[in-house]
């Protein structure tokens, strides 16, 4: 007896013509290595330590980094353990640290599959070495720019079944996309390519919270980094979720994400908005 075919997922765009991707250069400040410096890591060079000047403007940056990692752990565990998601597309991976997405997802569901995407060659070099899968699951790595959605989706289709839900993780990456590159269209293309029941998870820098410090940190960062950041306000971040069903508390400052957890201490608001939403 012939088995019925599973429903086909949305069409997957083909890869775009090659975009110029960054090469390794220890003489130019690098966003992933600057973040690594803020969190006390060792994968950075003297040029990346210009991040110290940014840290002086916004001393809470290491705390923001810790809350961001906690947000990743919380949402990935929820998606894998509570919502049945088994496919995670992490775009803008950054340098590996503790409690990476595959660690959290595969501890809850060993058959989870994760595709890590970053345009930075040093990030992908570390990822291939350190981010290894459980025997039942799989991890893969793509060097691609977030704007090259067709390349990302074509590469992810080699690991994922795109007729099944995918969690699209955009953690601290959309603020690197200027308005001139239409970040909303990028998110729409990604979510159009995944089926109903998929999720979008975002963490995004803002200067709407701790405005004076955050605005000065943004100015200093953009003076020193070859990849400037674009802060966005609550309304602008919420727009990324148009057409999706927000979960939990909606789009909130990152410290408020955890206020519903019994016993969680109150925290000073930090300059980042977070949210998770389901594709109906």
Domain membership of residue 240 (yes or no) is: yes
Quick check: is 127 in a domain? Answer: yes
Domain membership flag for residue 7: no
Q: Number of structural domains, the chain?
A: 1
> Within a domain: residue 182?
yes
CATH classification of the domain holding 270: 3.40.50.150
Rounded CA gap, 209 and 182, in Å?
24
Q: What are phi and psi of 27, to 5 degrees?
A: -100, -5
pLDDT confidence band for 172 (50 / 70 / 90): very high
Task: Return the structure tokens found at 49.
Answer: 């330590």
Q: How far apart are CA 114 and CA 106, in angstroms?
A: 9
- Which of 21-35, 90-104, 117-131, 216-230 shows the lowest mean pLDDT across its residues? 21-35
pLDDT tens profile 254-267: 999 986 555 544 56
Note the pLDDT tens digit of each residue in 144-154: 999 999 999 99
- What is the pLDDT of the chain when averaged over all its residues? 84
Instruction: Read off the pLDDT of each residue in 57-76 and give the average, rounded to a whole number.
Output: 90
**In this structure, is residue 232 part of a structural domain?**
yes
pTM: 0.85
Determine, yes or no, domain membership for 11.
Answer: no
Q: How confident is the model at residue 58 (pLDDT cuts 50, 70, 90)?
A: confident
Which residue segment(s) compose the domain that 67 sits in? 31-278
pLDDT of 2 > 50? The answer is: no
Position 205 confidence tier, pLDDT thresholds 50, 70, 90: very high
11, exposed or middle or buried, with CB in 10 Å at 0-12, 13-18, 19+?
A: exposed
Nearest by Cα to 201 from 222, 174, 177, 219: 174
Flag whether 112 is in a domain.
yes
Per residue in 71-120, pLDDT (tens digit) is 999 999 999 999 999 999 999 987 666 678 988 999 999 999 999 998 87
Least confident interval from 6-15, 124-133, 147-156, 201-210: 6-15
User: Residue 224: pLDDT above 70?
Assistant: yes
The pLDDT of 220-246, averaged and rounded, is 94
Question: Per the domain annotation, does 10 fall within a domain?
Answer: no
């Amino acid at each position: 007896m012939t088995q019925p075919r599973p429903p086909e997922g949305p069409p997957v765009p083909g890869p775009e013509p090659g975009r110029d991707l960054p090469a390794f250069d220890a003489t130019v400040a690098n966003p992933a290595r600057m973040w690594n410096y803020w969190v006390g890591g060792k994968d950075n060079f003297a040029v990346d330590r210009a991040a110290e000047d940014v840290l002086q403007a916004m001393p809470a940056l290491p705390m923001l980094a810790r809350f961001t990692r906690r947000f990743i752990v919380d949402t990935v565990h929820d998606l894998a353990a509570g919502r049945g998601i088994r496919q995670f597309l992490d775009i803008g991976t950054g340098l590996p640290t503790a409690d990476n997405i595959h660690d959290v997802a595969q501890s809850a569901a060993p058959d989870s599959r994760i595709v890590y995407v970053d345009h930075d060659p040093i990030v992908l070099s570390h990822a291939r070495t350190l981010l290894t899968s459980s025997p039942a699951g799989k991890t893969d790595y793509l060097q691609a720019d977030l704007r090259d959605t067709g390349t990302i989706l074509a590469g992810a289709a080699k690991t994922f079944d795109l007729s099944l839900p995918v969690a699209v993780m955009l953690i601290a990456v959309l603020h690197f996309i200027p308005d001139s590159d239409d970040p909303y269209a990028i998110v729409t293309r990604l979510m159009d390519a995944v089926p109903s029941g998929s999720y979008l998870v975002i963490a995004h820098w803002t200067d709407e919270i701790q405005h004076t410090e955050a605005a000065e940190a943004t100015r200093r960062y953009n003076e020193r980094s070859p990849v400037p950041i674009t802060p966005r306000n609550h309304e602008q971040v919420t727009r990324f979720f148009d057409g999706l069903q927000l979960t939990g508390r909606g789009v909130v400052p990152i410290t408020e994400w955890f206020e519903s957890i019994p016993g969680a201490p109150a925290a000073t608001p930090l300059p980042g908005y977070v949210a998770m939403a389901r594709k109906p």
